Every structure is written in C-alpha cells, then in structure tokens.
Structure 1
Amino acid sequence: MQCVAYFLNLANLAGKVHRPAFLAKYPTTYRGGILGRPYVRLMGLLLLGTGTVPFLTYLASRILQGEALRTQYATLLLIIIALILPLAVRPFLKRLEPLIDAGARHQAEFLNSIPDRYVGLAIFTSAALSLFLELSIIRWQATVFELFAFYKNFSLLACFAGLGLGYALGSRKLIPLFLAVPLLCWQFVLMLGLRYGLSANDRVSLKLLPFSEQLNMGLPAVDTLFNSVQTYLLLALVFLLTALAFIPIGQLCGGLLERREKLSAYGLNLAGSVVGVLLMFLLSAFWTPPVVWFLPAFALLLVFHVWSPRPLLFGAVSMVFALIVLAWPADPSWQRIYSPYQLLEVGQDSQGLMMISAAGHYYQRVHDLARSNRNVDSNPRLNSIRNYYELPYWLYGHAPGYVAIVGAGTGNDVAAGLRNGAQKIDAIEIDPAILMEGKLGHPEHPYFNSRVRAVVSDARTFLRTTNEHYDMAVYGLLDSHTLLSHASSVRLDSFVYTVEGLREARQRLNPDGILSLSFSVMNPHLGRKIYLMLQNAFDGRAPVCVRAGYDGAVIFLEANDRQLLLPAALLQKSGFEDVSSTFADPTLSADVSTDDWPFFYMPRRVYPISYLAMAGLVMALSLFIFSRFLDGRPQFGTAPFFFLGAGFMLIETKAITELGLVFGNSWQVIGIVIIAILAMAFLANFAVQRYLIERSPITYLLLLFSLAIGWWIAHTGGLPSGWLGRIGLAIVLTSPMFFSGILFSTLLRSRGAISGMMAVNLLGAMCGGLLEYNSMYFGFRFLYILAVGLYGAALLSELMVFKPKVEAVLTARAK
C-alpha cells in the first residue's frame, strides 16, 4: 500500500502542476530550471548502461557455461572502460542542454501556432499516433527477446509512464518532440545489437527469466542474484528509453487537449485512439514487418515537427536511420515472418528440413516420417519420433473415422493421422503463418490431402462451437510463446489447458473415442497437474501416461467411456516408458487450471513473489523519472482520477480475458474487444456532453452493480450458450467501462486542466497494471473485488475533496 501511496502522491503532483492557482501558491519548476538538463542526465545514465550491458551479458554467459571469472580479465577491463566512457562524453552532453531547450521551445511555439480550426484534427491525429506507436513498440519488443513476449505488461507500463509524465508536462512551453525518434532508434540499436551482435552462446544469460513461478519451455529461471543482473539492467534500460521517448508524445497530446473544451477534446482523443488500434489491426492482418508499423508513426511525428528546414531535416534523418536499423538483414539465413501473434523465424536444419524459432527460441520443426522414407526404419531416432506421433493411433486399435488435431502447427500430427488411415481430419491451428509454412514446407504435404480440413481458429472456441464428433482428439505439442494480450499475464494457449476446456473437448468425442494430450513436461509437478486435470475432466478416471522422450514429451491418454489400458506389447513395440504411477503420486503437489485461474504453466498456486521485483523496478524507475522532471508538493485533489484509472485497467483486463474466452482468443477478437472498450468510453463521454449528465452517487452505484453482476456470472459459469447469451455477456462485461467513462467525463468537466487529469489517470492505469498480477494467485474473479475497492476509493476521495467546498458554499450562503 505504501507503493500505491507513492504513486498517488506523484499522480496528484502531475495533475496539480497544471493549475494556475497551484502554480501561484506552490511554484513548480524543472530541476535546474530547464528541460535539457534532466534529459541529458538521463541520457548519460543510459549511455553508461548501454555500454555495460553487452559485456556484462557476455561475462555472465561465459560463467554460466562453466568458465571461471578469473579467466575473463579482458571482459572485466571492457566493463571498466564502459563505465568510464560517460565521463569522457560528459562535456559533449552538457553542450546539448541549451540545444534541447531551444529546440523544445520552438516546437512548443509551433504547436501553439496551429490554427484553431485544425486543433480538433491535431488532437485526433496525435491520439491515434500515441496509441498506434504504443502498440507498435510493445509488439516489436516481444519479437526481439522472448522475455518481452511473455511479459508484455512491462512494455505497456513503460509507455504509460512516459505518456503520463508527458501529459503532466503538456502545458509547458518546452516540448522536445524531436527526441522521440532518436530515443526509439537508440532502443532499436541496443536490443538488436544484443540479439544479433552476440552469438547464441554469448547471450545465453539473457535467456534466463527473472520469474520462477511460471515454467517456460527451454527458458530456465535465474537461480542466483548475479545471473539476473544483466537481465534487470536490460529491463531498466528498455523501460527508460521507452518512457523518455513517449514523454514528448504525451506532451504533444496534452498540450493540444488544452486548446479545446475539455469533453470535446477528450472525445476526439478517444476517437483517435480507436483509429490507432484499427490501424495496427489492419497492418497485423497483412503480416507486415516492423518497418511498416513504424513508418506511418514516424511520418506523423514529422508532420508535427517545426516546419523549418533544419528541424525537418533532423527529423527526416532520424526517421530514415531508425527504419534502416529495423530493416537491416541481421541474419539472412532465417526468413522472418511477422504473424499477427509473434515473430516466426524460418530456417533449415542440417537435413534441409524446416524448423521455426519464435523470437530467437526454438519452436517447431518438421519431420519426414513417410512410409516411403526408408531412413526412418534404419535410424533409431527417427523411428522413435514416428512412434511418438503414431502411439495414440495404435492404442485406438484401428483406422479412425474423424480426428481433431489441436495445435496442428506445421503438420507433423496431421501427417501421422493420414499415415494411420484417418478418413477425415480437422487440423486446428490459431496462427495462419505457421499453417502456411506447414503447407509449403512439410515434406509429406499433409495439408494438401483432400481428407484434411485446415481450420485457422482458437482451439477452445472451435471445439465448443462445432457440431462434429470425433473418434480421436489429438493435442500436439502446443506451447505458446506469447501472451493473450498486452494487458494480461495469460498466455495464448492457457484456456486450452483448463479443466473446463478439456471437458468441452471430451464432449466432442464419440462414445468410444480417445483423447491424446502431449506436452513437454518440464518438471514432475507439471506432469501431476496435467494428470489431475484429465482425471477431473474424465469422471475421476486416471489417464495413461507414456514418456516418449521426444522433446521431453509425455503422452497423456484418456478414453471417453471406459478406463483406458495400455497393452504391454504396444509399450514394448514403441520403446517408451509407462510413467502413470509417477504422476499418480499424491505426494506431488499441483493445482489444476480452471477458467478462473488459467495459469497452466504454474504447477502450483503460489503468490508470484518474483513478480514483485519487477513491480518494484517499474515503480522505482517511474518515481525516478518523475523526480527528474517535476518538483513540488503533492495534493489530494486528483485522487479520484487515479483510482478511476486503476479500476479501469483491471476491468479492461478482465473483459479482454473473459470476452476472449467467449468469442475466441484470436488476435481479431482481442483487437475488437479493445476497440469496444474504447468505444464504450467514447459513448459515455458523448452522453455526458449530449445530456449534460452531472456527478451523482447513482453512477457509482450503477458501476458497482454492473461489477457485481459480472462477478456473479463469472462465479456461476456464465450466461446460456448461443449468440444471445454471448451478446448478453459482452454487454455485461463492457457496461462497467460505460459507467466508469461517465464518472471520468463528469469529473473532468468540473476539474482543472485536462492534460493533468489525463496524466493522473494514466498513472492510475499503471497501478492497475501492477495489481493485475494478483490474478496469478487469487484468480481473475478477484479482479472484480479489487476493482470495487478502487472505485470505492474513488468515491470516497471525491467526497473528501468536495465536502469542504460544499461546506464553504453553504457557510457563505448562510452569511
């Protein structure tokens, strides 16, 4: 709670510094009286970290691989040189201070000179730019290192920190918009340099994730403090570079908002935000690379630059250089495909067969296991791999009529079904790019067989909505390397691996059908978890568990209407091991995944302590940045906006998660949900404008009532199935955004500068993003309780603020 209090105080400061009355009473200036100084000092720190992190990464990687520290004298010397380097360039950096201030002053004057008739368009465009660039940087960071793919919330919070501070500084006379692209380019060079400038062995220490509660296939967690230093240093650098780049963008948006009536300006801001999401939605649909994402964003930034030769030239050169860095063919041996979900890097193994990496980490490979390939029978490894794919069909006993393959990927499981005589196969794969690569690159060409129907869909939604019934449901080695959305800790495949999801798959089986689920069991507790989930879904019958050895996989098998038995002859034929007794051991602790707690990669339900370090890093860096740019006495008057922002972030996360579960966890659905949430806020603001809605406790009551209904529906299992039930659920889940939007707009109309209130609201959203991690222990229904508490705090703080004012008015009237 102390951390929340710190953020609240800082948020109130951000809001208050915009009020003329506040400035008159409590003068607030930049440290040193200029804007260039804090930027230059922070750039000095960034230069120090940028020079150190590559050598520190190399040193940690070598030590992890068994080399002694005393053999790395050269690396230690380079680290010392990197630490001294900022001192050498300090005089140059000092010279930048007046240049930054002069350029920022001219930029602010230019923006203030925009004719009033174009201010609305400028507000709309700047809002679209800020949200589009935010989504672009979040997505790009996730394509470079898997750390950011698994923890997109970190990137989101960095953007919020920069935008929040930028809005807080929106009414200032200094806007260094020309620094945004160079700072982003700095980040591009740093991250791509680490990724491609160091060999795989030299950057292995960055593959250690600083979070121990969730398992990650092929990505171990750090085990010592030393092994985490380089990771946290990289995170700190990326956070600071992202936040600093977004500060002038926030200033751009905030300064323009001040030039128009508040609710009208806010409505244009929301409308622009919707367009920003739509633009990213459109570019994702065409699998475009990062150059195409950042080109329109940089072009719009250039439009807002000072229209004189030197600033425009500087902006154009910065933009071109940044785009060159993004487009540079760092590793031509791999084809890079930016699917709507992730970066896929497609290459070939030593046999010339296709293999796929995701953000530099092994993901999938194809095999030629055809009967015509004589090498399979003579090669024990290939023979074992074919046995792994074909074991479920041997156990079924004869050629199946209809098979559903969940997570069909590049087609290995599909080819196995065809080899074993399946008459018809539904191959379900969520990523269209992976499916395309399977069609083009699999040597057995399973997707071109007339018996195969390729389905691009979320597996959970497909199995829930299809009318087909199957003899076999085969789960491939389904392992997501990305999150469901930037606002959630849930992975893309999490809702496939829940008790409810497995029950729905069972309902699609014929009476004598069997279900096969293969997974790389990273520790016994995860195996026990899968065992218990299947046992729960199949009326208490224990699954058969077979360790195949391929990619660490264990095959879990269940029959729909009987206890499945594994013949000894079949086990001997496969050469595998029956490990059913291992995972039946009750001394192995594990907690099953449910739709409320869908954290499949957490074998046990424990509080995510290691995430607190990340939350502490985010808060410390945010406080540090704010302290560099703002100075003054915190006030309480903007607290309602802070709590509204935090509550809105929580219910947005809850809505994305639940609506994704109802309509499908595909990228299209998630994009539509985000647009719907923004649309609700827009409609609420329009209603306040159109019908002159005033502040009232009734709005709070309606908001809390809508949250209570949502909690009750989630607790009881949802509305009836069918489109009417889904539409009803969508209305229920998005209605809190409408009432929250009404509260925000009515408060906004009666308070101070809009840019300050937006800053406080964004800081509250940061707090809400951190509080979302509580769902990893308490479940997603708990977010309703947190949201109720935050909105209750907003009501109390509003009453505490307005009560003295009301009493003063009544006293004056009495006199």
Structure 2
Amino acid sequence: MLASALMLFVELALIRWTSSNNLYLVHLTNFVLLASFLGIGLGFLRAHATRDLFPLAPVLLAALVGFVLAFPVRTGTGRGGSWQLIGLFGMPPLPRPLSLAVVFLLTVGVLMALAQEAARAFASFAPLDAYRLDIFGSLTGIVTFAGLSFLRLPPLGWAVTAAAAFAVLLGRRVRGWPAAAIAALVLMLGAESMLGTYQWSPYYKIHTQELAGGLVRIEVNNTPLQTALPVAEIRRSSQFYFYPYTYAASRRDVLVIGAGTGNDVAVALEQGAQRVDAVEIDPALIQIGRDRHPDRPYSDPRVITHVDDGRAFMERTNRRYDLILLALPDSATIVTGQSALRLENYLFTTQALERARSLLKPDGTFAMYNYYEPWLLDRYANTVRTVYGSAPCVQLGPSYGPRQQAVLTLRRDGSTGGCTTTWSPHGTALEPSVDDRPFPYLGTRSIPSFYLWMLGLVLLASVVLVRTVVGPLRTMAPYVDLFFMGAAFLLLETKNVVQFALLFGTTWAVNAAVFAGVLLSVLAAIEVAQRVTIRRPLLLYAGLLAALAAAWLIPQDALLGLSLVPRFLAAVTIAFLPIFLANLIFAVRFKGVGSTTVAFGANLLGAMVGGSVEYLALVLGYNALLVVVAVLYGLALLTGRRHLVAARA
C-alpha cells in the first residue's frame, strides 16, 4: 500500500511541478502522465528481475528535479523588449526536443524504480488481493496530495512527505546514494519553496514582485499574469478596463468572472456598482488582492467573492445581472494531467454564453475582453453572434506582438447600445466551440503536428524501452486483452474527468473527487469479484456496452438543466456504472492470470496508449471517445474470449 501510495503521489507531484517550471509542459502535462504509465508498466514487467531498482528511485528523482531547476523555461523579455522564452539567468532555454526528452526519460526511470518495489510486493499476494491493496494505496496517494494542495503547502511539503515514505520503504537500503539523494531532494525543493516570494496555490506557482509605488506584479508558472493597479492608474494607462461600461444601460449588479487580484472589481465599484459578484477559481489570487491591492476592493461590503469555476458558478446561480464580464480568463494551466482541457475552456462555448445571456436582466450587457490574436477574436465574436443573433460591438486597444487588446460587448436583446464599430470577420469566421469539443484555442478540427510528432516519438520510445528493458514482447502476448482494457479504461477515465469538470467545475477539488470516485468504483468491482462467482462474463460485456450507449445518448445539456443534487446523482450513475462494469470485467479476468505483474504491466502499457488516443477528442469531441472505448473493449473481448470459456467452466 505504501509503495503504491508513493508511486501515485510522485506521479501527481511531477505532473503539477514540472509544468510550473518548464513552459514547454504547461499545456502538455499528459506528456508526464504518459511517461509515468510507461515507467510503471516497465517496473511491473521487471518485478522478478535480479537488479533491485528501488534504491535508484530517489537518485533519479533528485536528478529530474535538479535538471528542471537548472534548465527552467520561463517567459522573459528579449532584445527590443519583446516577450520570449528564456532559461536560467536570462540565457536561452534548452531546445524543446532536448528538454522534453530528458524530462521524459528521467520520469520513466523514476516511476519504473518505484513500480518495481510495488510490483515485488504485488506478486506475493493472490491477484485480487494484490489489486485491492494497490487501489487502497492509490487512494492514499490521491488523498495525501489533495490534502497538501488544500493546505497550499509548497514543494518542500511534497518532498518531506515523499522522503518519509522513501525512508520507510528503503529501510537498510537507505544508506549511501539513496540517502544523499533524498537529502538533496529536500534541499532543492526547500530552496525553491523558501527563497524568493513564491507561494503555491492548488493551480499555480505564484511569484509576487514589488514595484514602485507599492504596486504588486503577479507571475504564475513563470508567466506574467497581472499587476494590481489603483483605479486612477487604470484610467491613465489601461482604458480598456472601462470599455465594457461605455454602452452598458445599467451597472448596478455586476458579475466579474476571472476577478484575479481585483482590478475589474475596483473598476466596477468606481463605475457605481451596488453589488459585485467576484468569481475567481484560485483562492491565492483573491487573498493577494485582499491583502495587497491598492484600492482594497475585496474589503468593500458591496463585493461578494466566490472561489469557484466561472462556468460552474453561472450554472448554479439564479441571480440576474446588469453586466456580466469575462475578464481576462486565460489560464496558464490545464485541468489535470489527464486531459487537454484548460481551466477556462468551458467558459467560451456556445452553451456557456447562452447561460450567461439567460442571467442578464432585460437591458443587461455581456462583455468579454483579452489580448486576442485576430483569428481567436473572430472565433469569440462569431460565438457571441451565434448566441445573440447579431454582431457584437468591438473596441480595440494597443497591439502586443500578434495580439491586440479587444473588448466585445452586446446587450441581451442583441443591440450594441449605440456602438458604431461592430465586428466583421477578417476572413471565414471559425466555428464556435461547444461543450463536447471545448477547444477555442484550436483553429481547426485537427491534431496539431507537434502533438502528432510527440505522440509518435513517445510510442516509438516505448516500444524500444519495453524491448530493451523487458525483453521480447511475446512475454505479454497472453495478456493482449488486458492491454486493450487498459487503453479503454484510460479513455473512460478521461471522459469522466472532463464530464465532471463541465457539470461541477474545473476545480482541483472536483478532479481529486473524480479520481477518488474512479478508484472506489474499482475497489467495489474487486470486492464483488472476490465474493461472487460470475459464470457468464459475456453478460458483463453486454452490460458495459449498454452503459456506454446510455452515456453516449444522454445529452450533457440535459444534466446541466437539473438542480445540484439530481445532477450529481445522475452524473455519478452515468459516469461510474461503466467504470464499475469495466473493472468487474478486468477483475474477473485478472483473478485467473498466471503472472500478476506481467498482466498488470501489460494493462498499464495499454493505459499509456489510451492516453495517446485521447487526442482524438481534439477532432471528434469527447463524446466520441465512448465509441472508441466500446471498440477497444470489443477487441479485448475478441482477444480474450478463450478466458470467458474458462471462467464459465
């Protein structure tokens, strides 16, 4: 249990931490997930190898942490004052292929060494007993990391937790290099945590910098985010903050989504708002604004703060507003290492803007602004036009490289309040994004070439590493069906992560709850398989197909229309019934395997392939992943049908 808990804890910590220091990974965190699955699969396949790899785990982990700290990738100013990627001390960063290759290989090595320790214990139990203990350990790892996130502990807290687990598991093996590596790990992450003005929220590494006049500049994950400015300075240097109010018929009740440190809230108060609902997903940013914004907008009794996902808040509230403002909701992170979904993606779909429109008073105004590239401005403006039936008012500010400040405004009735500059597309307007395919930053229905290259090289490296480390691939031939089950289950889990993000918010708490729910469903399946003899496993496949069909047919809008409790019950049933049945199929099959570690390793390698197939959602949408899941379980049925006969006998 402890080995499994440490394995999952380190995986989650690496997904979170590497992307906060290396901008190459900000929107590629499932890159680290794929490396983790490959490493865990290799570790289980090497369970019976003579060489004990576990003492190398802290050494490789310290090497990975040292590399990322020595070769960070951050945003900085280059010659001429333009923004560009820089490394340590302003030097050029390592080339992206080299940086990603080193991170990938070291991550594989760390997880392989950790997994071998878990696998050796795994092999000493009956198959389902081992699987049960592994799930208990995984739950412990998730709960521990979620708890540290809730407490907003910096990486030093993560390092101390991991160091304690290493010390217990290593026992007498902790001497020499492993001990030195554990100490180095704590020192390096302790230095990052204690030196400088960093704090760690559940989403970001936040750096605050004091500027002249007592102003505070905020960076998140090595990228500039905002500066907390008094209204007088905003009026002088950043007029676009006032653009949404130019054509607003009324400004009494205001909703600000993406409130950050409070600039938009301060402007709303200055413009006469009597109530401001300030929604910000990151509690640390609100706290910084509360403590350090020059105008102290969050201390005003007219302001009600909501630490929540913007889309989720709109779905839950029934209050009506004179002005709804999407204020720079452009995150520097994604929901989880298990999807390509950024925190704000569900704010920009047609369904989200329709919900925002329904919350406006009859003469209410909707506005959104950011620094847009021309094609992205066209997409958002076209989305607004699709929802309201007329083109929005567009007010442009200064350009910053390819991006330009722009504010889109429109009243509930589709009028522009006298604005004479309405939007017209630069060319063919891009189709709006929708809840099933919420990728506003993807220009067309395609998988970007960089992703394809990355996935191709990852899969090629996987084949080479499996062949080199484990030997002939034919050792896994008896477990091809478990390989397909692993790929299908990862896709099913990904679909549930994004489904719950839509229904309940893209918050870290929702994601942790979903992962815990998945593991509890797995645990329930194990207990049923232990206690009930299932003589006709084929019926489980039929039940799984029916559950997948129901999940595919029931529209997401139908669930969003329910109140909170019925929505939760419906979502849990639709999401976790297929997971339960899928794991019951796996548990029945796993119960009779000859080599638990090879079988489990094949299943984990299949999960890594499933993580690659997930990118089909960029083209087909997330609901289509259920069809892929059904096909993969069909392949599992075909390749493992002889085991169904054995189970019946």
Task: Give the TM-score normalised by the residue count of structure 2.
Answer: 0.93
- For 2:619 and 2:93, how far apart are their aligned partners in 1? 24
Q: Deviations over 1:547-575 (max 9, x none)?
A: 1227632100010024114446xxxxxxx
Tell me by how many angstroms 1:802 deviates: 6.6
- For 1:606 and 1:396, how far apart are their aligned partners in 2? 38
Q: Do the aligned residues in 2 keep the contact of 1:637 with 1:801 (CA within 8 Å)? A: no
Mapping of residues 687-698 of structure 1, within 5 Å? 687-694=528-535, 696-698=537-539
- For 1:798 and 1:703, how far apart are their aligned partners in 2? 16
Tell me by how many angstroms 1:459 deviates: 0.8
Change (3 A) 1:753 1:173: same
- For 1:152 and 1:260, how far apart are their aligned partners in 2? 34
Aligned to 1:344: 206
Aligned to 2:341: 490
- For 1:700 and 1:478, how far apart are their aligned partners in 2? 43
- For 2:387 and 2:590, how far apart are their aligned partners in 1? 50
- 1:186 match: secondary structure: helix
Q: Deviations over 1:272-308 (max 9, x none)?
A: 1111100000000011111211222222122122426
- For 1:250 and 1:618, how far apart are their aligned partners in 2? 19
Mapping of residues 577-588 of structure 1, within 5 Å? 578=421, 580-583=422-425, 585=426, 587-588=427-428
Mapping of residues 40-119 of structure 1, within 5 Å? none
Q: Do the aligned residues in 2 keep the contact of 1:645 with 1:765 (CA within 8 Å)? A: yes
Tell me by how many angstroms 1:431 deviates: 0.3
Q: Of 424, 431, 439, which aligns to 1:599?
A: 439
Mapping of residues 170-189 of structure 1, within 5 Å? 170-189=47-66
- For 1:355 and 1:719, how far apart are their aligned partners in 2? 38
Q: Of 347, 359, 362, which aligns to 1:511?
A: 362
Aligned to 1:748: 590
Aligned to 2:89: none
- 1:272 match: secondary structure: helix
Aligned to 1:144: 21
Cα-Cα RMSD = 2.5
- For 1:302 and 1:176, how far apart are their aligned partners in 2? 15
Matched, 1:554 2:406: yes
Q: Do the aligned residues in 2 keep the contact of 1:403 with 1:471 (CA within 8 Å)? A: yes
Q: Do the aligned residues in 1 keep the contact of 2:24 with 2:96 (CA within 8 Å)? A: no
Q: Do the aligned residues in 1 keep the contact of 2:75 with 2:223 (CA within 8 Å)? A: no
Q: Which moved more, 1:488-497 or 1:351-360?
A: 351-360
- For 1:199 and 1:355, how far apart are their aligned partners in 2? 14
Q: Do the aligned residues in 2 keep the contact of 1:519 with 1:554 (CA within 8 Å)? A: yes
Tell me by how many angstroms 1:801 deviates: 6.5
Change (3 A) 1:247 1:556: same
Tell me by how many angstroms 1:251 deviates: 0.7
Q: Do the aligned residues in 2 keep the contact of 1:589 with 1:604 (CA within 8 Å)? A: no
Residue 457 of structure 1 aligns with an amino acid whose one-letter code is D
Tell me by how many angstroms 1:490 deviates: 0.8
Matched, 1:543 2:392: yes
Change (3 A) 1:193 1:650: same
- 2:323 match: secondary structure: strand
Q: Of 474, 477, 482, which aligns to 1:636?
A: 477
- 2:395 match: secondary structure: strand
Residue 387 of structure 2 aligns with an amino acid whose one-letter code is A
- For 1:228 and 1:361, how far apart are their aligned partners in 2? 15
Mapping of residues 252-271 of structure 1, within 5 Å? 252-271=117-136
Structure 2 unaligned runs (5+)? 87-91
Tell me by how many angstroms 1:231 deviates: 0.3
Change (3 A) 1:259 1:678: same
Q: Of 684, 701, 709, which aligns to 2:550?
A: 709
- 1:150 match: secondary structure: coil
- For 1:201 and 1:390, how far apart are their aligned partners in 2? 31
- For 1:727 and 1:486, how far apart are their aligned partners in 2? 26
Tell me by how many angstroms 1:228 deviates: 11
Change (3 A) 1:190 1:266: same
- For 1:298 and 1:759, how far apart are their aligned partners in 2? 26
Tell me by how many angstroms 1:720 deviates: 4.7
- For 2:263 and 2:75, how far apart are their aligned partners in 1? 33
Q: Deviations over 1:562-590 (max 9, x none)?
A: 4114446xxxxxxxxx4x3443x5x3341
- For 2:124 and 2:535, how far apart are their aligned partners in 1? 23
Q: Do the aligned residues in 2 keep the contact of 1:302 with 1:315 (CA within 8 Å)? A: no
Tell me by how many angstroms 1:134 deviates: 0.8
Tell me by how many angstroms 1:157 deviates: 0.7
- 1:637 match: secondary structure: helix
Matched, 1:318 2:178: no
Tell me by how many angstroms 1:776 deviates: 0.7
- For 1:404 and 1:198, how far apart are their aligned partners in 2? 31
Residue 318 of structure 1 aligns with an amino acid whose one-letter code is A
Change (3 A) 1:465 1:306: closer
- For 1:694 and 1:553, how far apart are their aligned partners in 2? 65
Q: Which has the higher contact order (CA 8 A, sep 6+)?
A: 1
- For 2:74 and 2:342, how far apart are their aligned partners in 1? 29
- For 1:655 and 1:511, how far apart are their aligned partners in 2? 36
Between the aligned residues of both structures, percent identity stands at 29
- For 1:720 and 1:774, how far apart are their aligned partners in 2? 28
Matched, 1:128 2:5: yes
Q: Do the aligned residues in 2 keep the contact of 1:608 with 1:776 (CA within 8 Å)? A: no
Task: Give the TM-score normalised by the residue count of structure 1.
Answer: 0.75
Q: Do the aligned residues in 2 keep the contact of 1:683 with 1:738 (CA within 8 Å)? A: yes
Bigger Cα Rg = 1
Change (3 A) 1:503 1:290: same
Q: Do the aligned residues in 2 keep the contact of 1:591 with 1:605 (CA within 8 Å)? A: no
- 1:307 match: secondary structure: helix
Aligned to 1:285: 150
Tell me by how many angstroms 1:253 deviates: 0.9
How many residues matched?
Answer: 638
Matched, 1:242 2:107: yes
- 1:305 match: secondary structure: helix
Tell me by how many angstroms 1:636 deviates: 2.9
Aligned to 1:383: 236
Residue 97 of structure 2 aligns with an amino acid whose one-letter code is Y
Tell me by how many angstroms 1:350 deviates: 4.7
Matched, 1:671 2:512: yes
Q: Of 368, 382, 392, which aligns to 2:244?
A: 392
Tell me by how many angstroms 1:800 deviates: 5.7
Matched, 1:661 2:502: yes
Q: Deviations over 1:108-154 (max 9, x none)?
A: xxxxxxxxxxxxxxxx1111111111111111101111222211100
- 1:602 match: secondary structure: coil
